[in-house]
Structure 1
Amino acid sequence: MRIGELSDRTDTPRRLLRYYEEQGLIVPARSPNGYRDYDEYNVDRVMQIRGLLDAGLPTRIIKQILPCLNQPRIIHFPDATPEMLATLEHERDRMTQRVECLARNRDAIAEYLDAVRAKMHTDTSAEPAMSG
């Protein structure tokens, strides 16, 4: 697929996709005319990258951990530094806090919806039947 289709499917601007390529996060094939040619794999990869960026990870760390996302059980970091490990631990802890906050918010919204629906159901069933 061309860059425009990848952009549409991932809701990622073309310019940002080119940046991911410059950073070595995605690697498209090139057609004979020089156009970028992305395969289906890149759709998931871009979504992974965006999720990691949204979580606060810098691209230099993302580039190092992306290979682990392909085969998570085969993890080997010959270039893992104490700084990188500390960064990942910090980001993991931040993600955990965000997940807990999101779960609390989701539960609060679900309770609100349940209460509103129950009230609506009660109000509807309490209305007198109309006679014709």
Structure 2
Amino acid sequence: MRIGELARLTAVSERSLRYYEQQGLLEATRTPGGHREYPPASVDRVIRIQELFAAGLNSATIAELLPCMRDADGGPAADATPWLEQELIAQRDRLDRAIGDLARSREVLDDVIKAATNR
């Protein structure tokens, strides 16, 4: 499928799809006319990439994780390793720390607001 169709099916911009390709997250072949051609499995791949970005991971981490993740049909990825679970847990722990830091910052700000408004 061409880039426009992949963009339509995944609700991801063509610009983002080109970025994913540039970052090694997505692969396309080229037609003789130079157009990108994506295999049908690219739909699931783009959705997985979007999920990982939404989880707060950066493109370098996603590139490292994708080869280890299960295929869309639930089968194991060719390179699945125990490392994948450990890395995902580490990413979740990083988010938990960030949430804790933000909660503490909010508490400090609440104290500042209280002191500033004498409430």
Please tell me the TM-score bracket, short chain as reference.
0.5 to 0.7
Q: TM-score, normalised by structure 1?
A: 0.59
Residue type of the partner of 2:8?
A: D
- For 1:27, the equivalent position in structure 2 comes to 27
Q: Provide runs of 4+ in structure 1 moved above 3 Å.
A: 87-90
How far does the alpha carbon of each residue in 1:48-96 deviate from its partner, in whole angstroms, 9 at most, with x for none? 000000000111000001001143583176xx9xxxx6x743432448x
Distance 1:62 1:13 in 2: 18
Distance 1:76 1:28 in 2: 29
- For 1:75, the equivalent position in structure 2 comes to 81
Residue type of the partner of 1:74?
A: A
Number of residue pairs the alignment of both structures matches: 89
| Stretches of structure 2 lacking an aligned partner (at least 5 in a row) | 97-119
SS of corresponding position for 2:80: coil
Matched, 1:50 2:42: no
Q: CA RMSD in A?
A: 2.6
Q: TM-score, normalised by structure 2?
A: 0.65
Q: 1:31 to 1:68 in 2, by over 3 A?
A: same
Distance 1:37 1:76 in 2: 33
- For 1:38, the equivalent position in structure 2 comes to 38
Distance 2:90 2:67 in 1: 20
* Structure ID, larger Rg: 1
- For 2:62, the equivalent position in structure 1 comes to 62
| Stretches of structure 1 lacking an aligned partner (at least 5 in a row) | 96-132
Structure 1 segment 91-102 matched on structure 2, within 5 A? 91-93=91-93, 94=95
Distance 2:39 2:17 in 1: 14
SS of corresponding position for 1:27: coil
- For 1:89, the equivalent position in structure 2 comes to 89
